[in-house]
Amino acid sequence: MKIVRSTKCSTKFTTKKKMIELNTILKEYGKTCNIFISYFWTHPEIDKTQLLKPIVDIPMANTWLTARLRKVAAREALDMVGSVKNVFEWNKEQVQSTITALEKKLKTVKPDSKNNRRKINNWHKKHKALTAKLSMMSPHKPKHKGDRMAISCTIAELQLSKKQGKFDAWLHMASIGNGITLDIPINYHKHFRELNNKSVRQNAYIVTKDYVQFSFERETGPKKEVKNIIGIDTGINALASTSDKLQFGTDIKALIEHSKRCKKGSKGKQRAINTIKQRINEVAKEILKNKDLIVVEKLSNLNNNSKLKGRLSKNIRSSIGSWNYGYWLMRLEMNCEENRVSFRTVSPYNTSITCPVCNLADSRNRNGEVFKCQACGYTDNADINAALNIVQRFLTGKYGSCYKPKNEAILVCPELSSL
Ligand SMILES: [Zn+2]
């Protein structure tokens, strides 16, 4: 499997004169992008295969950028317009599906009790508000801020420093326009060297006034054969609880509470955030040891279920925070890719209140950190229980993935294996 990683190198070694020049280029690039955006906004039929001379020449009277860089700008403009329209369509679908669900409820529920009449009344109000919202919805044209550009070998090239000493390399940019060429000094850092040693640097760069971002590609080989599967539940008492009954990162709560006490924007706050990130990185690495497939809860399959989304986001708000949650999932997935471990997700629906033995889902099953089934009396740590449900959901396919493991796969949980 091919994986891509990126890293940023600071532009702080650049002279003042060059910085001014770089800023001028970025501004001009942003301006040109915006001319293209205006054009593509009213010409939705154009796609990337049509970015030929007539279109690339559109902003020619208003910019000094070369045809090469104009083409780069056109491509970025097309991406920006496309993504805004996609997000807008998605939002519209969300509202439309809520309206359809309301209409269905209004058709099926009869006004035969006071309670039902009140419900129906509320649905009517909601329906009216949403219909009005839908008719008012319109996409906002994006705007390029002129603060970054994504360029490749047609414009830029990383040249190794010939002289020993000052800098490791220069990012040489040419074919910009107005006869400008620009060399930005680059000093490698630890992460850059690591990536450079084990992967292939791509001829693609994101340039801003603060940094140049490099990307690297590496072939990891095929995924490991699936023998050891674990489910992972994310929480505040332990960052990760696994279905093989282990807990990792039990110090995360203290770290998050400390970070919350730090003043916004202070150096202490930044340090606290870095400590949390570092801890998440460590756990995301540690947890994959001797594993071939991990399963986590994720919302991706639930785009249309806003009620469920609300419930999960509420859970996360009261636990590790949505930012930390997103960062944690991202790190897990990245580490899986690097270690040839398969990464799967299931719906979080009821995982924390379902009994893994008798399947009863009841909110009374969970009491803080303790899980005790109201029906069969099965008792466990609440987070570990959730991890068991996550892996079970994955294996049975209920609400989750349709993946079926091969026979040789061993489920690393004694309770579930004996069922
Ligand atoms: Zn039970």
Alpha-carbon distance of 237 to 400, in angstroms, equals: 25
The predicted pLDDT at position 52 comes to: 86
Number of helices and strands in the chain (H, E):
11, 16
CA 241 to centroid of ligand 1, rounded, Å? 20
What mean pLDDT is predicted for residues 196-206? 93
Q: Please enumerate in sequence order all residues whose Cβ is within 8 A of that of 389, keeping only pairs 6 or more positions apart, or say none.
A: 231, 350, 351, 352, 354, 356
Return the pLDDT at 312. Answer: 56
Residue 146 pLDDT > 80, yes or no? Answer: yes
d(CA 370, CA 389): 15
- Do residues 62 and 30 lie in contact, with contact meaning Cβ atoms separated by under 8 Å? no
Strand partners, 372: 379
- Residue 150, pLDDT above cutoff 90: yes
pLDDT in the model for residue 346: 86
Say how many Å lie between the CA of residue 246 and the centre of ligand 1.
21
> What's the whole-number mean pLDDT along residues 296-314?
57
Rounded Cα–Cα distance for residues 242 and 237 (Å): 13
CA of 298 to the centre of ligand 1 (A): 24
Cα–Cα distances (Å) from 100 to 89, 111, 300, 372, in that order, read 16, 19, 21, 38
pLDDT tens across 324-371, in order? 888 999 999 999 999 999 999 888 888 889 998 888 888 899 988 899
Structure confidence by residue, pLDDT tens digits, 86-117: 889 988 998 998 999 999 999 999 989 999 99
Rounded CA separation 192/6 (Å): 8
Centre of ligand 1 from the C-alpha of residue 393, in Å: 16
Q: What pLDDT score was predicted for residue 350?
A: 84
Q: Tell me the per-residue pLDDT of 392-403, one tens digit each, with 9 for 90 and over.
A: 888 886 555 444
* Chain-centroid distance, C-alpha 347: 17
Percent of the chain residues past pLDDT 90, beyond the cut: 67
* CA of 356 relative to ligand 1 center, distance in Å: 7
The domain ranges of the chain are 13-166, 229-418
252's tokens: 């995360």
Q: Summarize the confidence of residues 250-264 as an average pLDDT.
A: 93
Question: How many Å lie between the centroid of ligand 1 and the Cα of residue 288?
Answer: 29
